[in-house]
Amino acid sequence: MDVTTDANAPWLIVGLGNPGPEYAMNRHNVGFMVADLLAGRIGGRFKRAGRAQAQVVEGRIGPPGPANRRVVLAKPMSYMNLSGGPVNALREFYKVPVGQVVAVHDELDVDYGVLRLKLGGGDNGHNGLKSMTKAFGADYHRVRFGIGRPPGRMQVADFVLKDFSGAERKELDYFVDRAADAVECLVIEGLERAQGTYNS
């Protein structure tokens, strides 16, 4: 896949989730958790983004020199299934090519805590990705954070909107930290290097 990039444009790193304190620790909100950690690393605080229905932090990641990258961290403040509109508004405002958009999201078909990085592809039933793909095409990067499948007969919708279990929470900080590392590696060193390091 030929990915168009622009050295002058920032990378748009989108953590997917639902706004509101009642959703904060849901499995579906792991993208927000990773975005919050990245914001802390660059010393920024999320602020409302103009007319876009999102919160953003602007900053830089990477060592000084040619590997240093300008980034915009974003959390859509629409609900998950409407993420595409706010993300596309930010993409157009910051003039970000689709190939420099990174979506960080929960992934049912990957075991808990396991990461899978990829470029393009389907949405696998994920409403946030579905909305983004509808808004500007599928050729963006994904950092897929495994949450595993629901136990027994639990419905997928119920599972993703439940908080991480007590056992999962013991390792959650470590896995979120690792996902943030993977995002930084992807942006600074490229997809192939990031996949080699983090696609465990």
**Nearest CA among 19, 23, 11 for reference residue 57:** 11
Q: Coil, strand, or helix at residue 13?
A: strand
**Side-chain half-sphere CA neighbours of 10 within 13 A:** 19
Answer yes or no: are the C-beta atoms of 117 and 194 closer than 8 Å. Answer: yes
Residues contacting 58, CB < 8 A, separation 6+: 10, 44, 70, 71, 72, 73
How far apart are the C-alpha atoms of 141 and 125, rounded to whole Å?
17
Residue 16 DSSP one-character state:
-
Q: Could you tell me the strand order of the sheet in which 101-107 lies?
A: 47-48, 54-61, 69-76, 11-15, 101-107, 141-146, 115-119
Q: What tokens appear for 111 in the block? A: 């075991």
Q: Which of 28, 105, 126, 141 is catalytic?
A: 28
**Is 105 among the catalytic positions?**
no
- Residues labelled as active-site residues: 28
